[in-house]
Copies of this chain bind each other. A is one copy, B any other.
Amino acid sequence: MTRTRTSTEIEPLPAGLTTAVSTTLDTFIDDKQRQLAPIGHELEQLITAARRAVHGGKRLRPAFAYWGWRAAGGSADKTDAILTAAAAIELVHASALAHDDVMDDSETRRGQPAAHRAFSRRFREAETARVDAERFGRSAAILLGDLLLSWSDELLGRSEFKPESMARGRVYFDRLRTEVVAGQYLDLLAQAGGTSSASDALRVVRYKSAKYTVERPLQFGAALAKAGKPLLSALSSYGVPLGEAFQLRDDVLGVFGEASITGKPSGDDLREGKRTLLLARASDKADQSQRALLDRHVGNPRVDAAGIAAVQDVIRETGALSAVETVITELTAAALSALEHAPVADEDSRAALRVLSDRATKRTV
């Protein structure tokens, strides 16, 4: 969930539509601001945090929802409806990020202080503290995430699809929300346990990233346009491997990426101790001294540049890096092959999804 980088921008929506998603979110939050204002002026703080939480994402999930809808032949007069529904997924995502940052105790998000940090800071400046500011910040960010999650349904409910279409779409919206939590829980266990096998790591990638970021948004959009089983199935055959490849590319960037490209300090995932496929492979193939080196440095927040470089060497020398690159190539090929055979109603969608695959998996280190 924390993996998608900020600076390797993808422009997956047709011109104007990324802006339209942002406008939809802004308009919705304006409405919520009017609803909350009479309750108390202090709630401005929550509104401000909500605006920041939905700001600046790549809108990747809305893009897949939009193109899924187009792939199923969604009609142009429903464009506003699909943009509203697609924006609802961004609220789910903003909620997940706010909670994720509390769980990981992250400092930053999209180059800004994480929500719980911003709440702590504001509280420290403004109040005669009786409890500690960190605790206040965490609690406020939990509430913020709850609000955004509740709002995701409310916004979805405002998209003007007919009840039958909406019911079909909700099936995938619901799956997305359940599966991402399942993936996060498995990730939590893997991180907490300190080890994870390659198959454990891939399972986390599948549920926390691939299905959540690509497959389910595509199917959600397609179902809103009443896609039949063959298309829904083809979108899965395209979406799951592409989403996995995307996450694995992100994992490689998390270890080898330059700060100037990823927007995060180089080697940041190693400091955090993220249990990725890359690390699982390296650990599997490591000899005794290499494994000792991994144990010493991975997950150590104070590891220095020499330590990072040593771990990078182990990941290269064990063949883990080239193995993961091979997996990325194979997964991408599988996704593209499924895309070529997908029974899409609109060739523009096939072309757009081809471009998206390319940008998602070939970002340079």
Q: Give the contacts of A131-178 with B (CB-CB under 8 A).
A: 131, 136, 138-140, 142-143, 145-147, 149-151, 153-154, 157, 163, 167, 170, 174-175, 177-178
Shortest distance from the beta carbon of A99 to any chain B beta carbon, whole Å: 5
Q: Does A291 contact B (CB under 8 A)?
A: no
Say whether, besides A145-B146, A150-B149, A193 and B127 are in contact (CB < 8 Å): yes
Say whether, besides A42-B186, A103-B139, A146-B149, A123 and B157 are in contact (CB < 8 Å): no
Say whether, besides A32-B178, A128-B194, A192-B123, A146 and B95 are in contact (CB < 8 Å): yes
Residues of B within 8 A of A188 (CB): 136, 139-140, 143
Neighbour of A174 across the interface among B45, B154, B181, CB < 8 A: B154
| In the bound complex, CA of A35 to CA of B179 (Å) | 9
Q: Does A40 contact B (CB under 8 A)?
A: yes
Q: Does A309 contact B (CB under 8 A)?
A: no
Q: Does A365 contact B (CB under 8 A)?
A: no
Number of interface residues of A (CB under 8 A): 60
Residues of B within 8 A of A138 (CB): 103
Tallying the copies of this chain within the complex gives: 2
Residues of B within 8 A of A151 (CB): 178
Shortest distance from the beta carbon of A50 to any chain B beta carbon, whole Å: 11
| In the bound complex, CA of A195 to CA of B189 (Å) | 40
Say whether, besides A43-B185, A174-B150, A179-B39, A129 and B192 are in contact (CB < 8 Å): yes
| In the bound complex, CA of A148 to CA of B130 (Å) | 31
Q: Please indicate which of the listed interface residues A140, A178, A194 has the most CB atoms of chain B within 10 Å of its own CB.
A: A178
Residues of B within 8 A of A123 (CB): 192
Residues of B within 8 A of A193 (CB): 127-130
| In the bound complex, CA of A170 to CA of B153 (Å) | 10
| In the bound complex, CA of A186 to CA of B44 (Å) | 11
As a 0/1 sequence over residues 333 to 353 of chain A, the CB contacts with chain B under 8 angstroms (1 = contact) are 000000000000000000000
Q: Does A36 contact B (CB under 8 A)?
A: yes
As a 0/1 sequence over residues 80 to 116 of chain A, the CB contacts with chain B under 8 angstroms (1 = contact) are 0000000000000001100100110000000000000
- Residue ID in chain B nearest A204 by CB atoms: B40
Are A207 and B39 in touch, CB under 8 angstroms? yes
Q: Please indicate which of the listed interface residues A32, A123, A177 has the most CB atoms of chain B within 10 Å of its own CB.
A: A177
Say whether, besides A99-B146, A146-B145, A146-B149, A170 and B157 are in contact (CB < 8 Å): yes
Shortest distance from the beta carbon of A230 to any chain B beta carbon, whole Å: 22
Residues of B within 8 A of A146 (CB): 95-96, 99, 145-146, 149, 181
Q: Could you name 21 residue pairs across A and B whose Cβ atoms are closer than 8 Å?
A: A35-B175, A39-B183, A39-B203, A45-B185, A46-B181, A102-B142, A103-B138, A123-B192, A129-B193, A130-B193, A130-B194, A130-B299, A131-B191, A136-B188, A136-B192, A139-B188, A140-B185, A142-B142, A149-B150, A153-B174, A163-B163
Give me 4 other A-B pairs in contact (C-beta within 8 A), A40-B203, A131-B191 excluded.
A99-B143, A103-B138, A130-B192, A153-B153
